[in-house]
Chains A and B, each alone.
Chain A
């Protein structure tokens, strides 16, 4: 087990509280946790790419980073217009 695998496994533990706070509580807290989870999963995918030595998986991390950006903007606009 190399350092990349260990780092990826430790990073997974960061996702557990984020998943918990994304599913419960105020909508504003859930949205912030969702944004943080997007960043954490992107970093996790980078680590997993290096851990398994599957370099095309880096494209998945790129796609997630770009889609997190779009998703965050869309959620922000929705929140601004439709939620109290």
Chain B
């Protein structure tokens, strides 16, 4: 039973990674492509770590795999944001939205006034 669970976890991790790679290749915009880094970095790494814990038990390599998963999850969020910010600055020379874009630029530097719910 444990072997079946381990095989299912590993197969799911590999399928998620392959699907993310293929999905990334289909996207034309780099901002869209960046979204496909998240599933392998979070879900696949977590599934592989669970499989290692199931097979090895509480061994040092299991905790190393858990550390790798934490690094990948944290790295993915920080690096994806940094790269998206860099792309934005390289394109428009400014991180903030231009006037007329989806988010009005004149509201960003002002304190947000929350309307009290009636």
Contact = CB atoms under 8 A, between A and B. Distances in A.
Whether both chains belong to one complex is answered with yes
A69 B34 contact: no
A26 B90 CA distance: 13
For chain B, which range describes its interface: under 10, 10 to 19, 20 to 34, or 35 or more residues? 35 or more
Contact of A65 (B22, B59, B68): B68
Interface string B11-36: 10110011011101100001001101
Interface in A37-84: 39-40, 42-43, 46-47, 49-50, 55, 58-59, 61-62, 65-66, 68-69, 72-73, 75-77, 79-80, 83-84
Contact of A28 (B25, B30, B41, B45): B30
Interface of A: 3-4, 7, 10-11, 13-14, 17-18, 21, 26, 28-29, 31-33, 35-36, 39-40, 42-43, 46-47, 49-50, 55, 58-59, 61-62, 65-66, 68-69, 72-73, 75-77, 79-80, 83-84
